[in-house]
Amino acid sequence: MSFTGKVFILSSATFIIYVGIQIYKYFQPPPLPLYDENEYWGPGNQPSKQDTSIKPFMINVSDEVLNDLKYRLENDRPYTPPLEGIQQQYGFNTNLLKEIIKFWKNDYNWRERETFLNQFPQFITNIQGLDIHYLHIKPKVSSDTIIFPLLLLHGWPTSVREFYSIIPLLTKEDNERNFVFEVVVPSLPGFGFSQPPSKRGLSPSKMAVIFKNLMKRIGHSQFYVQGEDWGGVIATSIATLFPKSILGLHSSMCMPSGPKALIKLFISSLFPSFFVDKRSKHKMFPLLEKFSLLLEEFGYYLLQATKPDTVGIGLGQSPSGMAAYILEKFSTGTNVSFREREDAGLKETFSYITLLDNLMIYWISNSLTTSMRIYSEAYSTHARSWEVSR
Ligand SMILES: *[C@@H]1O[C@H](CO)[C@@H](O)[C@H](O)[C@H]1NC(C)=O
Ligand SMILES: *[C@@H]1O[C@H](CO)[C@@H](O)[C@H](O)[C@H]1NC(C)=O
């Protein structure tokens, strides 16, 4: 073989090996980011001494806050009526809003709801500079019942309220099983009664560090975790960053976004039966329909990922504005076909009382803006290098 022939074969082989290695690397999980267990998120400089005490907490809203809320609800300007024949297609229907605000003013008894919300023991402890609020329910059981610690994480626009019905089921003994859960339900930083960060960059995966530290503070080096919405992202991050701490992970929002997932999505969009079973096909395909639905419904996502503070100003001043913004998500998030209903289908799954409980947690803590920032932090260049998405 000629010299040029050999050079050609050698360089082709080198090229193929190089490409092979790159493709192989592309499919490998990225290295775990380094995390700082003590990263400080509070205001100003980190104090030299850390307060590690755990303080009992009760929701106790002052009359002043309640009177102010009443005043605002009673002094709304007239709402812009919806277009004729329109239900929720242009956003939350103001005829429905009127009905809900009336219920809020006349039938929703906050002091009663406060007692309801205080039914589980609550605590506050400072983690990495932030006062973190959480429910902590220790089951009382006979000696041969095993107790597993379980961390439950909520998302947006929800709160610890979403777990109130399931807590008794998890913490009470049952003849069918020989275990119960010791349940810890924190408010995410900047949501409800957990202090918001003063520094930028508290992305979901950095919240994972906070919650792992919270569980350690409570005395659990190993625990189960379940997450919902952003809570699911945080739960996955805890399991990824601290696999030894996690006994099991359950997520109501699993989002694979690595290269393998994208290739599978592409192939299954042409041949669905390759990766998706018949029963679930309609949930993923046709892709065009699903993607246009995303565009129609995820405007808020882009807004909150870019300008949360601007949207937050008006919503934070107006309880009815906040109600419309949040309840619209509960409607469409439950079933997009509820857009075609005058009542937004809200009572199919919820009651006005439970919806207002959740809303009140955002209102009295004035935390809508800081809660919306989680979208920005998840996508900011500041956090991206750090985000765990696979
Ligand atoms: C709530 O706060 C008020 C006023 O500070 C106080 O009188 C009341 O006892 C508190 N209630 C609870 C349940 O802590
Ligand atoms: C949404 O509502 C429609 C109409 O009421 C119903 O046919 C459909 O099964 C619902 N979808 C889900 C996921 O519940």
Q: Are 308 and 279 in contact (CB under 8 A)?
A: no
Residue identifier of the C-alpha nearest atom 10 of ligand 2: 335
Largest CA distance in the chain: 94
Ligand 1 atom with the smallest distance to the CA of 58 is 14
- Quote the pLDDT of residue 390: 35
Give the Å distances, CA to CA, from 275 to 258, 261, 264, 266, 281: 16, 10, 7, 10, 10
Place of tokens 């209102």: 363
Looking at 255, 287, 311, the residue that finishes a domain is 255
Q: Checking phi first, is residue 89 left (phi over 0); if not, alpha (psi -120 to 50) or beta? A: alpha
Residue identifier of the C-alpha nearest atom 5 of ligand 2: 337
Please state the domain count of the chain: 2
Domain of residue 200: give its range.
37-59+118-255
Residues 50 and 193 grouped into a single domain: yes
Q: What's the rounded mean pLDDT across residues 159-167? A: 98
Residues 212 and 105 grouped into a single domain: no
- Quote the pLDDT of residue 383: 57
Residues 304 and 232 grouped into a single domain: no
Give the Å distances, CA to CA, from 155 to 109, 192, 295, 307, 385: 25, 12, 21, 19, 22
Residues 183 and 224 grouped into a single domain: yes
- Quote the pLDDT of residue 382: 57
Q: DSSP string covering 57-76, please?
A: E-----HHHHHHHHHHHHTP
Is 357 a domain residue? yes
Residues 100 and 206 grouped into a single domain: no
**E strand residue ranges, the chain:** 54-57, 122-127, 130-137, 146-153, 179-186, 223-227, 246-251
Is 260 a domain residue? no
DSSP assignment letter at 131: E
Residue identifier of the C-alpha nearest atom 1 of ligand 1: 60
Is 275 a domain residue? no
Q: How would you write 140-209 as a 3-class SS string? A: CCCCCCEEEEEEEECCCCCCHHHHCCCHHHHHCCECCECEEEEEEEECCCCCCCCCCCCCCCCCHHHHHH
Q: Find the residues whose C-beta lies inside 6 A of ligand 1.
A: 58, 60
- By most ligand atoms within 8 Å of CB, the mutation choice from 88, 284, 334, 337 for ligand 2 is 337
- By most ligand atoms within 8 Å of CB, the mutation choice from 57, 60, 62, 110 for ligand 1 is 60
- Between 359 and 270, where is the model more confident? 359
- Quote the pLDDT of residue 389: 43
How many residues are there in the chain? 390
Residues 98 and 158 grouped into a single domain: no
Least confident range from 57-61, 226-230, 385-389: namely 385-389
CATH number at residue 80: 3.40.50.1820
Is 183 a domain residue? yes
Residues 323 and 363 grouped into a single domain: yes
Residues 134 and 204 grouped into a single domain: yes
Residues 190 and 134 grouped into a single domain: yes
Q: What angle do CA 34, 369, 379 make, to 5 degrees?
A: 35
pLDDT tens track for 220-254: 999 999 999 999 999 999 999 999 999 999 999 98
Residue identifier of the C-alpha nearest atom 12 of ligand 2: 335
Evaluate if residue 343 carries a pLDDT over 50.
yes
pLDDT tens track for 96-120: 999 999 999 999 999 999 999 999 9
Q: Find the residues whose C-beta lies inside 6 A of ligand 2.
A: 335, 337
Residues 175 and 224 grouped into a single domain: yes
Place of tokens 């190089």: 18
Residues 41 and 131 grouped into a single domain: yes
Residues 302 and 201 grouped into a single domain: no
Residue identifier of the C-alpha nearest atom 6 of ligand 2: 337
Least confident range from 19-23, 157-161, 207-211: namely 19-23
Q: What is the mean pLDDT of the chain?
A: 93
Q: What's the rounded mean pLDDT across residues 324-345? A: 97
